[in-house]
Amino acid sequence: MVGEIGTLLLGISLAISLYAAYAAWRGIQLSAVPASSARSRTWLQSAQNAVYMQAALLGAALLILLVAFLSDHFEISYVAQHSSMVIPVYLKISAVWAGQEGSLLLWCFLQALFAALATGCASERARSLVPWTTVFLSLITAFFVAVTLFLSHPFTLLSQPPLDGRGLNPLLRHPGMIFHPPALYVGYVGLAIPFAFAMAALITRRIEGWTAAIRTWTLIAWLGLGLGLLLGMRWAYDVLGWGGYWGWDPVENAGLLPWFTTTALLHGAVMQEEKRGFHVWNMLMVIFSFALVLFGTFATRSGMIQSVHAYTVSNLGGYFLTAIVVTLGGSLALLYARRAALKDSSPIVEGLLSRDGMFFLTLALFTTLTVSVLVGSLLPTLTEVFSGQRFEAGPAWFDRVTGPQFAVLILIIGLCPLLGRGVAALQRLRRLRWVVIGGAMTVPVAAGLTGFTDVFSLIGFAISGFAGAATLAEFVEGVMTRRKRTDEAPLNALWQLLRLQRRKYGGYLVHLGVILMALGIIGTRMYPFEMQITLNAGQSTAVKGYTLIFEELKTAFIADYNATWANVSVYRGDTYLTTLQPQLNRYTGDQTVTMPALLPGLHEDLYLILSGWTGDGTSATFKVIVNMLVNFLWLGGLIFLAGGGLALWPRMEHRTWNVVAFSVGLALLFGAGWAMWGMPHGSVDYGDGRPLVGQEAPDFRLSLLDGGTTSLKDLRGQIAVVNFWASWCPSCVEEMPALQDVWEMYEDKGVTFLGITYQDDVSTVRSALTQYGTTYPVGLDTGDRITDRYGITGIPETFIVDADGRVAHVHVGPIAAEALVTQLEALLK
């Protein structure tokens, strides 16, 4: 019954969206004649009610799907495919959009919701455009609902409902994947709003103000896309286990392309609002943004683009292609029909080396970037048509084609604030030249000194340094100018500056974020490092300044998968850094998921993958990847989001609302930060780390069971066998007889034995000692202080310290008498 209600809701929504379009159109018709203005009003009101109702119904349908997941309604085919009884609640929620049907329903709901918000809360400037916007938005919603209802139905029922679902694709069980699709969809769906308003503006000839009218929506869509892309990159980096974050895969490009055109639109809108033209360009950008959204959906579902990342060839392809053709054809025709109205706006153009020129170049470059990536994605089809041979564009192709374009964009980021308008600009440039040259020099020099020597990368660093210096100079100058007027403290002045000129400084923050991301991209793309190595247990290897020691392999059965991980200690020189635990999970159905372990750092990330092992766990194969400067990418991404959020944030009249808005924004930013960085990365710190052989054994003070204390220093001059154990540990008690035997053999030969118990209590320890007749001194390690200092990862572990206080031998696991004797004999010589 639950599924059936969902179907009915979808059907009613379709009818309503068609009605809304009709009612709005009728209202527009009637408004032309003053006599029927009242009837016009009625029709428009009815249309608006329909828009609200649409959002409510589709929201209800989505809610029903959610409920179906949460209460395990496996008679619904989609639920059975993507959920099961054992997965946790938060994953059941994200399973709603794990497949095509559910994600389309999410799309429909967002479409209706945004339409309701955009038309209901339209700003003063946008009022006259709302009725036509309603027509277009309702038609778009109708299209998506029709596709969902007839071609990709989420509520199809199974005649024989299974007892349990198939479960969620293991790779999607990452909290980041909860937010990545919805964020992307906010972007995709959001782009329909500026498009609809643009069409309304064209029809009613209200060209002048439309960009300002929908500035907020454009920013929201742009930010949503950006967040979605960043989250996708971080998820790929964390989960997919190939050490990278962007493969230039057509599906990735499908999200990047509309982001390019929307960024171009944002910049063009600035020009248009300053009465400097770019009307036609902005129209084209908004049309293509929306068309690219449809194209992205089409391309990934039609099989036209060969992609490993793609979905199965589905029947949706043809319908989306038709939608694209209709949209492009109709909007371009309308644009042409209204060309007279657009021509009125002739830009006041200054020279190329001016702010206007920079904006022009920016738009030009984003256009060529869009074309480049589009060509690359379609290259197999294009080359087959033109030359008969199918060529494919790999990552190298994309890097080579887009790299220089991005580099010039970064250069423009730096030039734009420097090149203002007129004479004042030249004076400013002269004043700032040392700052800017300094920036352009320090970054490459610093990079070169820390090991980055490739020429192209140094050029990239120079450009980034230049742009960064120019942008930071804007902040500094802004603060200085303000302080001259208000005499505030510098931080306060900065705060006021950000608060009062959100768009300008939000934009500069975004630029700063992009510059940092560029540094990360240069580091990872131009200095790749990857190595495969097989190690035996206890064996170490040196990699780029790190020492990696493969300690041991462990297995555990968790929920519905078998997890195997390796403990790999990481040292730099003699200093223990952490223990990485790269993992491999084997799920029922023989599907494996690699979980890499990560040691992040400012200079680089150490990225470790467990590839394979021998059956008995004595040997394992690892892939070691070092990603240079990659954290600049994530840091830059956060600053980018912060800047976008700042530009977006509304300024409201009441102080309380402002505080609320600010807190919400900050919370969202932290949320994004957590999604980017907060995922566990498979590293664990075992105290101070195990001391390496040859290192001085960490000193400690132990209270002995029989009274008195001893310290390791007291035992200098003797060989000390330090054994960490516990009475509740079966392997430990296994080795106790052996330890006692060897102790008895060597106790007058200058050898001391010391037993240290881990998380144990006096009585059980005493009974164990009595049971095994242990006579060497034993003490309890209260508070785990000593085990921390020795980086114990498990018990038993035995350390042999020579007469000079240095670690001579480390044995993990129960030690046999022969092994102990061999070691002691060697030391006594």
Question: Considering only residues 274-313, where is the footprint of other proteins by CB under 8 A?
Answer: 302-304, 306, 308-313
Judged by CB under 8 A, the stretch of 120-128, 416-424, 465-473, 772-780 that binds other proteins is 120-128
Residue from 328, 365, 661, 810 touching other proteins (CB under 8 A): that is 365
Judged by CB under 8 A, the stretch of 26-34, 190-198, 629-637, 802-810 that binds other proteins is 26-34
What angle in degrees, to the nearest 10, is found between the helix axes of 316-337 and 279-302?
A: 170
- Which of 66, 358, 338 has its CA nearest to residue 204? 338
- Which of 544, 532, 543, 528 has its CA nearest to residue 612? 532
Q: Which of residues 564-593 bind other proteins (CB under 8 A)?
A: 590-593
The number of beta carbons lying within 10 Å of the beta carbon of residue 694 is 10
Contact status, residue 216 vs residue 207, Cβ threshold 8 Å: no
Q: Which is nearer to other proteins, 352 or 666 (CB)?
A: 352
Residue from 70, 212, 321, 375 touching other proteins (CB under 8 A): that is 375
115 near other proteins, judged by CB under 8 A: no
Judged by CB under 8 A, the stretch of 352-360, 460-468, 634-642, 799-807 that binds other proteins is 352-360
Q: Which is nearer to other proteins, 303 or 794 (CB)?
A: 303
Residue 218 CB, nearest approach to other proteins (Å):
21
Residue 39 CB, nearest approach to other proteins (Å):
8
Residue 456 CB, nearest approach to other proteins (Å):
14
Residue from 17, 84, 103, 567 touching other proteins (CB under 8 A): that is 103
Residue from 205, 339, 431, 785 touching other proteins (CB under 8 A): that is 205
What is the gyration radius of the CA atoms in the chain, in angstroms?
33
- Rounded to 5°, angle at Cα 208 from 203 and 209: 95
The four Cα atoms 448, 453, 457, 459 give a dihedral, to 10 degrees, of 60
Residue from 486, 492, 532, 703 touching other proteins (CB under 8 A): that is 532
**Per-residue string for binding with other proteins, 32-71, x by CB under 8 A?**
xxx--xxxxxxxxxx-xxx-xx---x--------------
98 near other proteins, judged by CB under 8 A: yes
Residue 4 CB, nearest approach to other proteins (Å):
4
Residue 620 CB, nearest approach to other proteins (Å):
8
Residue from 63, 364, 679, 692 touching other proteins (CB under 8 A): that is 364
Helix (H), strand (E) at residue 628? strand 619-628
Structure tokens at 825: 């004999």
Q: Which is nearer to other proteins, 127 or 716 (CB)?
A: 127
Amino acid at 729: C
Q: Which of residues 604-643 bind other proteins (CB under 8 A)?
A: 609, 611-614, 619, 621, 623
Q: Which is nearer to other proteins, 4 or 825 (CB)?
A: 4
Q: Which of residues 788-817 bind other proteins (CB under 8 A)?
A: none
Contact status, residue 732 vs residue 725, Cβ threshold 8 Å: yes
Distance of alpha carbon 7 from the chain centroid: 34
Q: Which of residues 248-277 bind other proteins (CB under 8 A)?
A: 249
How far CA 77 is from CA of 102, 166, 169, in Å, comes to 11, 10, 16
Concatenated DSSP letters for 59-71?
HHHHHHHHHHHHT
Residue 179 CB, nearest approach to other proteins (Å):
13
Q: Which of residues 158-177 bind other proteins (CB under 8 A)?
A: 166, 169, 171-172, 177
Q: Which is nearer to other proteins, 39 or 806 (CB)?
A: 39
The number of beta carbons lying within 10 Å of the beta carbon of residue 654 is 8
Residue 356 CB, nearest approach to other proteins (Å):
9
Residue 245 CB, nearest approach to other proteins (Å):
11
246 near other proteins, judged by CB under 8 A: no
Give the SS3 label for residue 702. strand
Judged by CB under 8 A, the stretch of 351-359, 565-573, 709-717, 787-795 that binds other proteins is 351-359
- Rounded to 5°, angle at Cα 694 from 690 and 697: 55
Residue from 240, 321, 342, 563 touching other proteins (CB under 8 A): that is 240
- Which of 323, 329, 321, 288 has its CA nearest to residue 302? 321
How far CA 136 is from CA of 305, 429, 459, 559, 679, in Å, comes to 29, 47, 47, 48, 41
In sequence order, which residues have a C-beta less than 8 Å from that of residue 309 and are 6 or more positions away? 247, 249, 250, 251, 252, 300
543 near other proteins, judged by CB under 8 A: no
469 near other proteins, judged by CB under 8 A: no
Cα separation, 109 vs 111, whole angstroms: 5
553 near other proteins, judged by CB under 8 A: no
The number of beta carbons lying within 10 Å of the beta carbon of residue 308 is 8
Q: Which of residues 390-409 bind other proteins (CB under 8 A)?
A: 390-394, 396-397, 400-401, 404-405
Give the SS3 label for residue 85. coil
Cα separation, 723 vs 742, whole angstroms: 13
Residue from 163, 351, 542, 707 touching other proteins (CB under 8 A): that is 351
Size of the site for other proteins (CB under 8 A): 121
Q: Which is nearer to other proteins, 303 or 805 (CB)?
A: 303
Identify the DSSP state of 274: T
- Which of 109, 119, 106, 127 has its CA nearest to residue 51? 119
Cα separation, 299 vs 750, whole angstroms: 77
81 near other proteins, judged by CB under 8 A: yes
Judged by CB under 8 A, the stretch of 366-374, 421-429, 514-522, 540-548 that binds other proteins is 366-374
660 near other proteins, judged by CB under 8 A: no
Q: Which is nearer to other proteins, 46 or 718 (CB)?
A: 46
361 near other proteins, judged by CB under 8 A: yes
Residue 52 CB, nearest approach to other proteins (Å):
8
- In SS3 terms, 192-215 reads as HHHHHHHHHHHHHCCCCCHHHHCH
- In SS3 terms, 804-827 reads as CCEEEEEEECCCCHHHHHHHHHHH
Structure tokens at 5: 């209600």
